[in-house]
Structure 1
Amino acid sequence: MSEHAGPAKRPVSQTLAGPYGHPFHPILVTVPIGAWVASLVFDVGSHVVAGPAFLVVGSTWLIALGVIGALLAAVVGTMDLLIVPPGTRAFRVGVLHMALNLVITGAYVGNFLWRRAAGATDTTAVAAAPVGTGPLVLSVASLLALAVSGYLGGMLAYRYGVRVADEAVTQAEGYRHGTPRTGVHERARPAH
């Protein structure tokens, strides 16, 4: 393990960011990702079904749920970024990941407000029309940007090991043979 990576593995606050080896950020990002992907599915579905009002309203509220989840994930993600040594490649990737996510979240806030102004939050006010082209295109563009940001987040965790348990010590425990109760461990046997 690099001497520089060591600090990036320990949380700023175990209570807020998650304990060592169990960061909360990857758990929290599933909320906006899932909500925004489902929102796009609802958007597309609104162009396929008759009487799409329920999909238009559902999509709009999924966007709002995703924004709330993204803000929570951003708080925890910022705490994880604070432990990465400034000036490193991992720090630069982290800043780019954060900036891109803030732009994406802002785009979804704009998308929600756009839809709300069109009356897409109330089934009684929504006409029998599918989601408009503008909000649909904005959702697609935002999800594409989210995929790029997810790639950068994966780079932080899987390539640079930010908030990932130490490979040589902690991760190695999972590959030892033996029973944890007795503490007896065998040497790993090569696969035949």
Structure 2
Amino acid sequence: MTADPGRAKRPVSAALAGPYGHPFHPILVTVPIGAWVASVVFDLASHVAGDPDALAYGARWLIAIGVLGALAAATVGFLDFLAIPAGTPAFRIGLTHLSLNLAVTVAFALDFWWRGTPDGAVPIGPLVLSIVALATLSVSGYLGGKLAYRYGIRVADESTQAEGFRR
């Protein structure tokens, strides 16, 4: 028996997760991704720049912005996940994507706490944690792309997409 693929294209709540064919999750994930990538750049720069305290301080707050952004992205992403039929490959990939993102968010929250008040360049421990978390986020992002581009989760069907190519 095949699950209805159209079910995963429709939002559980259009008001909360975005209308058909235009989900909110993809735009919200840009906040934590951008903040966390920038935080690692600041971390690395704190080891070579003239004012490591300022860069370490900036990295710490970029991590906090990323965690808050991840919570917003996770909220609407979870609504999208609920639309995927259980027992399907898309559901398993969605569950892995969700789990990895949860682990990454927890890792960055711990990283924020571990850093404390900046005093010089970012210590190696938090720096390594950030890099590992960012690598894990990359794997999870790949899986999220597979959900959208391979399985069409929350993507409009082809007949709707064709409207954009009519003259």
Q: With structure 1 as the length reference, what TM-score do the two structures score? A: 0.84
Opposite residue 153 of structure 2, the aligned amino acid is V
- AA aligned to 2:130 is S
- Which runs of 4 or more aligned residues in structure 1 lie more than 6 Å from their structure 2 counterparts after TM superposition? none
Q: CA RMSD in A?
A: 1.0
For 1:136, the aligned partner's letter is L
Q: Which residue of 2 aligns with 1:32?
A: 32
Q: What residue is the counterpart of 2:10 in the other structure?
A: 10
Within 5 Å, give how 1:113-124 maps onto structure 2. Answer: 113-116=113-116, 119-120=117-118
Residues 136-155 of structure 1: matches in 2 within 5 Å? 136-155=127-146
Structure with higher helix content: 2
Which consecutive unaligned segments of at least 5 residues does structure 1 have? 121-125, 178-192
Q: Percent identity?
A: 63
Question: What residue in structure 2 maps to residue 67 of structure 1?
Answer: 67
Q: Can you list the C-alpha shifts for 1:112-168, whole angstroms capped at 9, x where unaligned?
A: 00012xx12xxxxx3xx211000000010000000000000000000000000001x
Shift of 1:176: 1.6
2:98 match? 98
Report the Cα offset of residue 43 of structure 1: 0.4
Match of 1:163 in 2: 154
| TM-score for both structures, normalised by structure 2 | 0.97
TM-aligned CA deviation for residue 3 of structure 1 = 6.3
Q: Say how many residue pairs are matched.
A: 166
